[in-house]
């Protein structure tokens, strides 16, 4: 339209030219926004597939089952027993030859707790950053699957932070994990 106006009219109407240029610029911005939205959705989908892949791994399943079993075996004392187990495992690992220490570490309760905690911390971060919206997160992770957060992870992580790392204040992980769990209990009937 701008070209037609410039070629056919004897005198350019600058108001018309300005409006046509504005329409052209806004159209380009719209194309860029649509591209960014599509890319954002693709990035979210890619993040979802990666997180689901990690969650469905045999190592994750073993870690989750181990934590629940440990919790059931030790009842309300599970955090206290966990800290003692962690100390014993550390001593045991230190006695192993250097080339066996990493493999020995993989079999410990501490390592398995850390796998589960880091997974949920990443999931909570993606949720908080809105990379994965609530309807996606809570489609794949039900209240039963998120129950591990308040029942096991938060008590253990709090003990690790305070007793082993000597932290006086709990980090952002604490707020993120609580929110991931609590938002699901609010959004589900």
Q: What is the pLDDT of residues 62-121, one digit of tens each?
A: 999 999 999 999 999 999 999 999 999 999 999 999 999 999 999 999 999 999 999 999
163, pLDDT greater than 80: yes
pTM of the model: 0.73
8 A C-beta contact, residue 187 and residue 138: yes
Sign of the torsion angle spanned by Cα atoms 102, 105, 110, 113? positive
175, pLDDT greater than 70: yes
Is residue 169 a part of any domain in this protein? Answer: yes
Sequential DSSP letters for 72-138: HHHGGGHHHHHHHHHHHHHHHHHHS-HHHHHHHHHTSHHHHHHHHHHHHHHHHHHHHTTSS-HHHHH
Residue 29: other Cβ atoms inside 10 A: 10
82 and 119 co-located in one domain: yes
Pick 28 or 175 by higher pLDDT.
Answer: 175
Is residue 154 a part of any domain in this protein? Answer: yes
81 and 109 co-located in one domain: yes
33 and 95 co-located in one domain: no
Q: pLDDT exceeding 90 applies to what percent of the chain?
A: 46
35 and 76 co-located in one domain: no
Domain that holds residue 126: 57-187
- Environment class of 134 (CB within 10 Å of its CB; exposed 0-12, middle 13-18, buried 19+): middle
Is residue 46 a part of any domain in this protein? Answer: no
125, pLDDT greater than 60: yes
Average pLDDT of the chain, as a whole number:
81
Reading phi first (left if > 0) and then psi (alpha if -120 to 50, else beta), residue 142 is in: beta
8 A C-beta contact, residue 127 and residue 134: yes
8 A C-beta contact, residue 189 and residue 108: no
Residue 125: other Cβ atoms inside 10 A: 16
Is residue 49 a part of any domain in this protein? Answer: no
3 and 79 co-located in one domain: no
68 and 145 co-located in one domain: yes
Overall number of domains in the chain: 2
31 and 63 co-located in one domain: no
9 and 77 co-located in one domain: no
Residues 172-178, mean pLDDT to the nearest whole number:
87
């Amino acid at each position: 339209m701008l070209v037609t106006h410039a070629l056919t009219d004897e005198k350019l109407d600058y108001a018309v030219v300005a409006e046509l240029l504005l329409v052209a610029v806004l159209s380009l911005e719209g194309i860029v926004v649509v591209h960014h939205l599509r890319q954002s959705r693709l990035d979210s989908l890619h993040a979802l597939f990666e997180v689901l892949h990690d969650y469905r791994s045999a190592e994750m399943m073993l870690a989750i089952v181990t934590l629940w079993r440990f919790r059931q075996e030790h009842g309300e004392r599970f955090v206290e027993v966990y800290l003692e187990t962690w100390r014993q495992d550390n001593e045991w690992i230190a006695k192993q030859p250097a080339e066996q220490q990493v493999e020995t570490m993989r079999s410990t309760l501490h390592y398995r707790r850390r796998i589960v905690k880091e997974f949920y911390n990443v999931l909570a971060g993606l949720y908080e950053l809105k990379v994965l919206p609530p309807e996606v997160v809570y489609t794949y992770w039900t209240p039963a699957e998120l129950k591990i957060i308040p029942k096991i992870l938060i008590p253990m992580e709090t003990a690790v932070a305070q007793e082993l790392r000597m932290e006086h204040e709990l980090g952002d992980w604490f707020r993120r994990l609580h929110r991931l769990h609590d938002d699901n209990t609010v959004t589900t009937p």
